[in-house]
Structure 1
Amino acid sequence: MSLPPKPIPLEEAWERLLSDVAPLGFVTVAVRDAPGSYLAEDLKARRTQPVTDLSAMDGYVVRSDDCVGPWQVIGESAAGHPFGGTLSAGEAIRISTGAHMPTGEVAVLLQENAEREGERLSINGKGEPTERHIRRAGYDFSDGQALLGKGTRIGAAQLALAISSGHGELAVHRLPSLGVIDSGDELSASLDNCGPNQIPASNGAMLAAMAAPYTSEVRALGPVEDRMESILDAFDAAASCDVIVTTGGASVGDHDLIRPALEQWGAKIDFWRVAIKPGKPLMVGRKGSQIILGLPGNPGSAYVTAFLFLLPLLRRLAGSLSPNPSTIALPTAVDIGHGHKRREFLRAVYREGMVEPLGSQDSGGMHALAISNALIDRPSLGDEVKAGTSVPVYLLENG
């Protein structure tokens, strides 16, 4: 029996996984159906915002060359109901936030700086009219201006910008479909019929929940028993998916059948060991344009490797130009010991500006995984870290 290959570094694994992966083809969708998708082309404004000068505050408008007062209030400009005339010396109009400014060189006297008796307006001594409170035409964006780049993910704020800039439809990349296969004789799909030698199958549901924001469909195809025929049937059922992810059976034990099943199914294995903890037995295979990820079966390992590999792959297929997660530097609340041989991702809790690794880092522990909201990236053989020292941290969506 040949020895297993040497585990490869995380960055090399990312490169080998994503270097040849291109975003899926694009579709045109109604703008309100675009959230969660990535732009397939740059977004440019089709109108100017605002189309004219607006008031940024409640108050009164006077001419810029007539800022001493008193004035006679001759009208009002409210949002959606502009004042139609022009101002002469000694005249003012009431104005609301967001309302059109009258034509000409004008200034705004804030409501709190104004004193009014009937239609007579004067300054109460706290401030003078100023042009600082005018939102100029086009200050937000102008017709034809580039607003968002290709590869931007559409969220709530991006949706509002697209609508405001005149877009009823958007060209976005197609979201990938995913087949999820959790395998193992110990897994039970039924909570009511979970025998003493079994555990409830949770990995499939966990991965489906993680992947849902980046996919068009998640097809649950497990749990599958440790039989070659059952695993091959599951692969056949996922043959139309853009990505297949498995958990369990990706190592080299007698009952680890994912790799031989994939090879029998016609997939080519790219790599299957990465120098990280948890998650060393991680496998990447390809069959045509389809990509298969084999993740470890322990839930902590499955979660971490899905965060580091499955989600970046899905984001890349969906059109992201920067699919990999990024770290931020946060001070650790406690001392952290010397690093181990493999690069380690410690489940941790981030609160009050500091991050603290959890006491239990066992990859089979689901309680620790569920209460963590961060991963501390510890380098291989890293030095001891004292409390208060900044460390690289990935923030998770658990929090």
Structure 2
Amino acid sequence: MKERVRVAGVGMAPFATPSKSEPYDVLAERAVKAALADAGIGLASIQQAYAGYVYGDSTCGQHALYRVGMTGVPVVNVNNNCSTGSSALFLARQAVASGAADCVLAFGFEQMQRGALKAHWDDRPDPFHRFDQVLEKAQGPAEGVPMAPRYFGGAGAAYAERYGTAPETFAAISVKARRHAANNPYAVFRDPVTVEDVLAAPHIYGPLTRLQCCPPTCGAAAAVIASEEFARAHGLRTDVAIAAQAMTTDTESSFDGDPMKLVGYDMAKAAAQQVYEAAGIGPEDIRVAELHDCFTSNELISYEALGLTGEGTAEKFIADGDNTYGGRVVTNPSGGLLSKGHPLGATGLAQCAELTWQLRGEAGPRQVEDVTVALQHNIGLGGAAVVTLYEKAR
């Protein structure tokens, strides 16, 4: 990167289930206005905008932003499955770091439908065809099981078979997510659950029960990204910087038959290694992380992909409480995708907002002590992984 860019403002609209949500454009307007207000600027100061969403027609980004204002700013619509929000952030950061722009808006939103994720186009090549072939060969047929839990449940089953992981270990992640979400007014599910509750929920696939799967969610989040020079010249906040960021896509290793690699283990590991090297720190320096817990199984394997604990040690990491307050790394203080919710286009930017608040010391009862760096991990099958390291700027 040419220079470390600043996160000058962040904003969110509370997440909600589809039956209780406002339309996507209303949610996006709210999040963008909140981010602009947090930065202390108007839309006229924004030189580029990147809008992330998965389910919607072309130019939804323009339609949503026009509710805030019509300044003629270029708007780029971004779709990268579940990593869409972070992909928009990646482009915004890149624009500023390269010197192409000084002040850029990244925003993401989703108005999801009830039920499991599904494809909407059946008259053209399926981008998951190769993935499905590997999955079928590794796990056999699974009639009636939705696509996403089949992939991630299969990854969890493969991990459990390899290391002897107990079902209670996966369930404990859901318990932790609810406990964290209880302090987040933006989260969908804030009521506590026990390990017994989680295990007694309807079985979905592999180690997963219904309470170990993120819900379809609607919501929006946004971030204003600026150069340090622009921020200082216009009186914007400069106290949170993006120290390093990497995006990776699949390599041939994703298709070698290992269900964990099929859902992005190697992508995440490679992106994390690039970020650690660029920032000059190691995973041992991380005290807070927002990672992609679309299912409990993915949070568990991501601990190891990101180097937060060694390979095969995730069960001990969880049992020792090293993934929560009082432990080594507070993972998903927001409640994560499992409890805060997972509106695909908004997720990566909601993670950005949470970690910005953590670094500012503005996370209220969710605040992690002595935070100087924060790690974000967001993946999308098909595939893309984005890992971002934020730091408290000096």
When you count helix as a share of all residues, which structure comes out higher? 2
When you count strand as a share of all residues, which structure comes out higher? 1
Normalised by the length of structure 2, the TM-score is 0.26
Q: Which structure has more RCO (C-alpha within 8 Å, separation ≥ 6)?
A: 2
